[in-house]
Chain A
């Protein structure tokens, strides 16, 4: 029976191993700051390391918004760019700029913010070797093609267009005229960086140090970050609470449930499934305000079928076959509003938003739609396939609704179908490989509140987000002209002229403007979302 005792030993060891992993844990330890004047807020795991020039999504952007302040800051209500660290940004020709920085600003580790803090940061962001995903933001600066060539190795380490004059002055030379350039400088990619970022990069990424109203007290990757108010913050927008705990949620529904149960103070992404309950659940603690996001349907212009004379009529016809009002009301419950131009209401009329610029082409008119599509030679292949990624948002619902609307208008049950792609990554992949055979979902969240940002990256020949490869010489010419204007009002008017070219060709079908939505607990007040749909954390009051 020797064997049996040994088996017993194996079984016993298993049981013990299970007990050890299972019960050796502490019960209910409390970490991070919660309670008191600290608020807790829902968060998602940032996709990239938290470097300013490497963060291109809203979750990482949230943190950067709290720990960094740049030359400009966008007003949380109007979206207008205001001088922040910049004392002045002067130019005479919209190409050579002199930037003067205010004195008295420091990073939270005590280091002074100087001209070099900016120049070094921008050089780092632009350099190909650092793999920064926002590098193209520095593409307007002279010498970018040397530090970030399209192929091959870089022939320079620093941008030749940046020169430090003294501690608080530097000059920027652009490779083209761009009158809106100063207004882009509020984007996180242009934030200054302390020396610690370069000298001990690994430690900095683990616990970033910046010059904003908050400092990072503790950061447990993938689960939570506790940001404490920085008492020595020299700016006028000091935090009005003691701190913020950002908590990673696996699912926005769970975050919402936690808010209802009183375990969480702020949710800045109300799940679509809860939109019908949210007003009953939260009452006036639910906010729904315009954000700089527009959803469109883009077309594959590399496909001959969509790029022949007359196909603009088909596209316009499709646009007129979509009952936008009905979809935004029933599916999105007012968190989207029907689009009537290609920008966003957050720009305001002065910034280039023009309600109704699309005209009748964006009005629901099934009769005219049917007629236009017929005149344009009918739908290529007899069926429109709208490609979208099915892994996030409520894309399936609205694509089905859009198709339904088109089918009804055309009196043909098979005129339009949705074509789901499993993941966002694969969706982007297929777009990049020019595999689209029909319209596809295109969403655009602005980087900075300028009309230029809604047009040039999306419709200019060869631009970074021109996924459909639309190209129009007249549009390009008008954009170049508008960029060269030194007067803001005339520049905006120039862009609107270019936008009309987009309309006449129906380069992309505008669907709706997206709002930011958030809900908060009774403990909080003064909660608002900025035009980037990020909560304005520093203004929130607790208790």
Chain B
């Protein structure tokens, strides 16, 4: 198992380099970042040249990439155009987004898996059809519609919540987390439902029932544990997607997280911010995937890594 983890970690290196290089190239294709700095007028050539020199933009691209990567390994992610170190932006943005993701994943697991189990066990009954229909609606409605609608109803009409997030604390993030989770939640429900329904007829469940185990124990220890494998895979990959893909939700609810910083970075063509944040997201994604693979072995003792 130790060797497996080491091998996986080594595999991450080329993926990491490739992903950052791609992002670096893509951001640079967007054009000269200095052009957008002077408002509706051209920067005077002398200042523009000076700024390019300061941000290292006058060097060839490969050299910029090498310098950048060299600095990243020493923990220096460069400076944003407003003079703030990118690491400082990360220190404010990531905790909020991590909290938001945790809330979202929590809802996915609690609501999604519960609904999945309930519907999987009662396949074809009205509960099942009702939940299926509901998930279909959730999947087909875009996140920004759900977000704005909940914001309008809960925030302004009924005044249950504050329509915007101010400090990014957990209680403020409940509704945004639910909105962010909504689509994935529907998928988790459907995945669990199918998986449960399938395994319900399997030999080991029949054996467990035959040897007289209580129904509750059969469901939780045998049926659910085996049915969760595809769900765990989905949730694992979803962590990365939720952290990087919260741009819409973060804008609607005024959350100053990763999505907001990325959006702002792209608008202002701030290479350093965008590459830095994406690099960290790539890492998160890789680690999450590794953890998912390790979790398989916990859930299914038949899986061995060497």
Q: Do A and B bind each other?
A: yes
Q: Is the interface of B mostly helix, strand, loop or mixed?
A: helix
- Contact check, A257 vs B156: say whether CB atoms are below 8 A apart: yes
Q: B222 an interface residue at 8 Å Cβ cutoff?
A: no
CB neighbours (8 Å) of B179 from chain A are none
Given known pairs A21-B102, A28-B172, A428-B35, the reply for A254 and B254 (CB within 8 Å) is yes
Segment 238-279 of A: residues with Cβ below 8 Å from B: 247-251, 253-255, 257-258, 260-261, 263
- Contact check, B163 vs A261: say whether CB atoms are below 8 A apart: yes
Q: A11 an interface residue at 8 Å Cβ cutoff?
A: yes
Segment 38-78 of A: residues with Cβ below 8 Å from B: 45-49, 56-57
Given known pairs A46-B82, A248-B256, the reply for A424 and B36 (CB within 8 Å) is yes
Q: A26 an interface residue at 8 Å Cβ cutoff?
A: yes
CB neighbours (8 Å) of B84 from chain A are 221-222
Q: A425 an interface residue at 8 Å Cβ cutoff?
A: yes
Chain A min CB distance to B245 (Å): 15
Interface string of A8-31 (1 = CB under 8 A from B): 101100100010011101111111
Given known pairs A149-B46, A464-B41, the reply for A3 and B297 (CB within 8 Å) is yes
- Contact check, B38 vs A429: say whether CB atoms are below 8 A apart: no
Q: A6 an interface residue at 8 Å Cβ cutoff?
A: yes
Q: B162 an interface residue at 8 Å Cβ cutoff?
A: yes
Interface string of A389-429 (1 = CB under 8 A from B): 00110000000000000000000000000000011111111
CB neighbours (8 Å) of A313 from chain B are none
CA distance A271 to B88 in the complex (A): 30
CA distance A258 to B167 in the complex (A): 14
Interface string of A422-444 (1 = CB under 8 A from B): 11111111111000000000111
Chain B min CB distance to A384 (Å): 21
**Nearest chain-A residue to B247 (Cβ)?**
A250
CA distance A266 to B155 in the complex (A): 18
CB neighbours (8 Å) of B162 from chain A are 258, 261, 263
- Contact check, A257 vs B164: say whether CB atoms are below 8 A apart: yes
CA distance A422 to B268 in the complex (A): 11
- Contact check, A426 vs B30: say whether CB atoms are below 8 A apart: yes
Chain A min CB distance to B137 (Å): 24
CA distance A254 to B250 in the complex (A): 10
Q: A128 an interface residue at 8 Å Cβ cutoff?
A: yes
- Contact check, B268 vs A261: say whether CB atoms are below 8 A apart: no
**Nearest chain-B residue to A44 (Cβ)?**
B264
From B46, B89, B267, B305, give the contact of A148 (CB < 8 A).
B46
Chain B min CB distance to A18 (Å): 6
Segment 238-266 of B: residues with Cβ below 8 Å from A: 250-256, 260, 263-264, 266
Given known pairs A29-B167, A132-B47, the reply for A443 and B40 (CB within 8 Å) is yes
From B163, B170, B251, B260, give the contact of A258 (CB < 8 A).
B163
- The residue among A48, A248, A258 with the most chain B CB atoms within 10 A of its own CB is A258
Q: B134 an interface residue at 8 Å Cβ cutoff?
A: no
CA distance A299 to B101 in the complex (A): 48
Chain A min CB distance to B7 (Å): 15
Given known pairs A22-B170, A263-B162, A464-B44, the reply for A133 and B260 (CB within 8 Å) is no
User: Which range contains the number of B residues in contact with the other chain?
Assistant: 35 or more
**Nearest chain-A residue to B304 (Cβ)?**
A3
**Nearest chain-A residue to B83 (Cβ)?**
A49
CA distance A48 to B164 in the complex (A): 26
Given known pairs A7-B297, A261-B155, the reply for A254 and B253 (CB within 8 Å) is yes
Chain A min CB distance to B128 (Å): 30
- Contact check, B298 vs A28: say whether CB atoms are below 8 A apart: no
From A8, A205, A424, A457, give the contact of B83 (CB < 8 A).
A205
From B171, B252, B294, give the contact of A28 (CB < 8 A).
B171
- Contact check, B1 vs A6: say whether CB atoms are below 8 A apart: yes
Interface locus among B68-76, B91-99, B112-120: B91-99
Given known pairs A223-B92, A257-B155, A263-B164, the reply for A426 and B269 (CB within 8 Å) is yes
From A27, A128, A429, give the contact of B36 (CB < 8 A).
A429
- Contact check, B30 vs A8: say whether CB atoms are below 8 A apart: no
- Contact check, A464 vs B99: say whether CB atoms are below 8 A apart: no
- Contact check, B298 vs A8: say whether CB atoms are below 8 A apart: yes
Interface locus among B49-57, B189-197, B223-231: B49-57
Given known pairs A151-B49, A250-B250, the reply for A48 and B81 (CB within 8 Å) is yes
CA distance A428 to B267 in the complex (A): 12
Q: B37 an interface residue at 8 Å Cβ cutoff?
A: yes
- Contact check, A56 vs B39: say whether CB atoms are below 8 A apart: yes
Q: B14 an interface residue at 8 Å Cβ cutoff?
A: no
CB neighbours (8 Å) of A129 from chain B are 50
Q: A135 an interface residue at 8 Å Cβ cutoff?
A: yes
- Contact check, B46 vs A260: say whether CB atoms are below 8 A apart: no
Q: A92 an interface residue at 8 Å Cβ cutoff?
A: no
- Contact check, B163 vs A254: say whether CB atoms are below 8 A apart: yes
CA distance A46 to B39 in the complex (A): 12
- Contact check, A250 vs B255: say whether CB atoms are below 8 A apart: yes
Q: B124 an interface residue at 8 Å Cβ cutoff?
A: no
Q: A360 an interface residue at 8 Å Cβ cutoff?
A: no
Q: A533 an interface residue at 8 Å Cβ cutoff?
A: no
CA distance A373 to B192 in the complex (A): 66
- Contact check, B251 vs A21: say whether CB atoms are below 8 A apart: no
- Contact check, A426 vs B31: say whether CB atoms are below 8 A apart: yes
- Contact check, B82 vs A250: say whether CB atoms are below 8 A apart: no
Given known pairs A45-B264, A423-B30, the reply for A442 and B269 (CB within 8 Å) is no
CA distance A26 to B44 in the complex (A): 47
- Contact check, B170 vs A27: say whether CB atoms are below 8 A apart: yes
Q: B11 an interface residue at 8 Å Cβ cutoff?
A: no
- Contact check, B82 vs A467: say whether CB atoms are below 8 A apart: no
Interface string of A452-471 (1 = CB under 8 A from B): 00000100000011010000
CB neighbours (8 Å) of B89 from chain A are 222
CA distance A251 to B247 in the complex (A): 11
From B1, B38, B41, B152, give the contact of A7 (CB < 8 A).
B1
- Contact check, A131 vs B47: say whether CB atoms are below 8 A apart: yes
- Contact check, B45 vs A151: say whether CB atoms are below 8 A apart: yes
CB neighbours (8 Å) of B253 from chain A are 254
- Contact check, A23 vs B170: say whether CB atoms are below 8 A apart: yes
Interface string of B106-142 (1 = CB under 8 A from A): 0000000000000000000000000000000000000
Q: B43 an interface residue at 8 Å Cβ cutoff?
A: yes
- Contact check, A47 vs B169: say whether CB atoms are below 8 A apart: no
From A57, A223, A432, give the contact of B35 (CB < 8 A).
A432
Chain A min CB distance to B174 (Å): 11
CA distance A56 to B81 in the complex (A): 13
Q: B295 an interface residue at 8 Å Cβ cutoff?
A: yes
Sort A-B residue pairs by CB-CB distance and give the 10 closest, nearest first: A425-B36, A429-B35, A22-B102, A425-B269, A465-B41, A429-B31, A428-B35, A49-B83, A254-B254, A251-B251
A-B contact pairs, 14 of them (CB 8 A): A3-B304, A4-B298, A10-B294, A21-B99, A22-B103, A29-B169, A49-B82, A148-B47, A221-B88, A222-B84, A260-B163, A429-B36, A442-B40, A445-B40
Could you list which residues of chain A lie within 8 angstroms of chain B, going by C-beta atoms? Answer: 3-4, 6-8, 10-11, 14, 18, 21-23, 25-31, 45-49, 56-57, 128-129, 131-133, 135-136, 148-151, 205, 221-223, 247-251, 253-255, 257-258, 260-261, 263, 391-392, 422-432, 442-445, 457, 464-465, 467
Knowing that A25-B95, A464-B42 touch, tell me 10 more A-B residue pairs with CB under 8 angstroms: A7-B297, A25-B99, A26-B169, A27-B169, A47-B81, A149-B46, A150-B46, A221-B88, A222-B89, A432-B35
